[in-house]
Structure 1
Amino acid sequence: MRWFRKIVIAASAVVAVVGSFIGSGAAGGTPIQDAAGGALSASSTAIAPAGPAFGIWSVIYVGLIAFAVWQFLPRRGDEVRHDRLAVPATLSLLLNAAWILSVQFGLLWLSEPIIVALLAVLAWTFVILRRTRPSGTVEAIVTDGTFGLYLGWVCVATAANTAAVLTAAGFQGFGLSQDVWGVVVALVAGAVGVLLAVSGHGRLAPSVSLGWGLAWVAVARLDGPLVSVPTAVAALVAVVVAVVVTLAVRTRAGWSAARSARAA
């Protein structure tokens, strides 16, 4: 049964990587930022990140491939953990490819439930990782690090995708300006970063990728066709708050562990 799980995850990783190759435009398709009429470009909405932000996908895909390969290596101590991760990990890979295809075919409306489902699945994965311990440093980097980066980035991507879908549908923001909505969404993203930091006991990966995405939102709002200084400032404040809280929680957890070790 475990061999079946490993093969399914590996096959799903291949599907996700092929999907990313198509989404990059390298296979003759339209790059994601240009697909669906440019709805996901850096100038489409106030919360859209600048193009270089998407470079984090390369790191995430390398991590996902490493995770798929890691399944087959002989080791001890994490098989039960990976059994629990099998379903959400597989779903995240398939949903990733489905999101790319939906955008490539111009089905922007369909991309929204897909990316929301992807976010929910990654949150499920995060809960499993939080409740189980890695068997060693390599496992922590390959599994916890990869899915932590994945989750943090998809938080930002979901916000950007939602804004793009609403804008394409003609949503007028209840009369509020893009500056106002940009500030609100950026601060909400920062609050999500704080939530991940506290619930994850100071895990670095989600904070790093979420901060990366928000930082590039700030860059796009300061230099580009859609300038919004308030949004840029709010995004940078959100980055600082999320990172500071993460480091504070991580430091406190380290102190607690050290006190427990001395007491033992």
Structure 2
Amino acid sequence: MVLAVVIQIGATFLPQLGLGEPIGDRSDSVRTLITPSGWAFAIWGPLFVGSAIFAIWQALPKQSDNALLDSIAWPAAIALAAQGVWATYTQFANLTVISALIILVSLAGLLICLRALARHDRLSGEERWFAALVLSALAAWLTAASIVNVSASLVYHGILADGPYPLAAAIMVAVGGTIAALAVVRSRGNPWYALVFCWALLAIYWRGGQEASSIGWACILAGILVVLGMAVSLSKPDNRRHWIGI
């Protein structure tokens, strides 16, 4: 797991060593209506810190017989390492169909973790803050990032080269929001997933939503579905205790 996080974080520093192009530059070259505003990507700072803390915590000797970690170790390691592979590939190539497939592999691993976290009988305080919070936030951001990457790859390959296609982009946001809302409900109202996904929606609304009203309304609708799913699920005391301990 520690090695996976080293790959995850270390890959982003390659351009500083003169290798490849910064991910931001790649993103700008295939910008779409659902590419989030630049400030939203600052979330990678806390996500990287959280990933490092999670990796160190799970490696402690006292966690050697942790049943939760036994169920999520490989999916989490694959997901974190895949993010480093995605960053490496993107910096040398671009946001192509290959990069979209890589990011979907990472998302799949995180969603497996999310399912295990939701089904776990009782999260301890450490499991809640060092594993559930970090992996849920990553799963939410990768859900949004997958939608954006698919859109960008369509631009890169010329499928959306003749125009911004706001309606198609709005449909992608609406579908992604519906999937996210279902994930929130099925994960017992996971607040960390819901809040981070809404952060991504806000960033899409802030940019694409100002250029096309259909994008803006899709973001609003998706946000309402996600927040509603969280609120209804967390109205149950068992779900609140599971995720936030109260």
TM-score range, shorter chain: 0.7 to 0.9
Residue 109 (1) aligns with residue 93 (2): no
Q: CA RMSD in A?
A: 2.5
Aligned to 1:16: 8
Residues 230-255 of structure 1: CA distance to partner in whole angstroms, max 9, x if unpaired? Answer: 20221122112211221111113548
Are the aligned partners of 1:36 and 1:104 in contact in 2 as well (CA < 8 Å)? Answer: no
Aligned to 1:4: none
TM-score, scaled to structure 2: 0.88
Question: In the TM superposition, what is the alpha-carbon distance from 1:37 to its structure 2 partner?
Answer: 6.8
Counterparts in 2 of 1:193 and 1:47: CA distance versus 1, 3 Å: same
TM-score, scaled to structure 1: 0.82
1:22-41, aligned counterparts within 5 Å?
Answer: 22=14, 25-28=15-18, 30-35=21-26, 38-39=29-30
1:135-174, aligned counterparts within 5 Å?
Answer: 135-172=123-160
Amino acid at match of 1:187: A
Amino acid at match of 2:66: E
Residue 66 (1) aligns with residue 66 (2): no
Which secondary structure does the structure 1 equivalent of 2:93 belong to? coil
Residue 195 (1) aligns with residue 182 (2): yes
Counterparts in 2 of 1:135 and 1:250: CA distance versus 1, 3 Å: closer
- Consecutive unaligned residues of structure 2, counting only runs of 5 or more, are 242-246
Aligned to 1:122: 110
Counterparts in 2 of 1:110 and 1:136: CA distance versus 1, 3 Å: same
**Distance between the aligned counterparts of 1:76 and 1:170, measured in 2?**
49
Which secondary structure does the structure 2 equivalent of 1:35 belong to? helix
Are the aligned partners of 2:79 and 2:108 in contact in 1 as well (CA < 8 Å)? Answer: no
Counterparts in 2 of 1:110 and 1:147: CA distance versus 1, 3 Å: same
Aligned to 2:244: none
Counterparts in 2 of 1:164 and 1:133: CA distance versus 1, 3 Å: same
Question: In the TM superposition, what is the alpha-carbon distance from 1:75 to its structure 2 partner?
Answer: 4.1
Amino acid at match of 2:100: E
Question: Among the aligned pairs, what percent are the same residue?
Answer: 24
Aligned to 1:252: 236
Question: In the TM superposition, what is the alpha-carbon distance from 1:124 to its structure 2 partner?
Answer: 1.3
| Runs of 4+ displaced beyond 2 Å | 25-31, 72-78, 252-257
Counterparts in 2 of 1:77 and 1:197: CA distance versus 1, 3 Å: farther
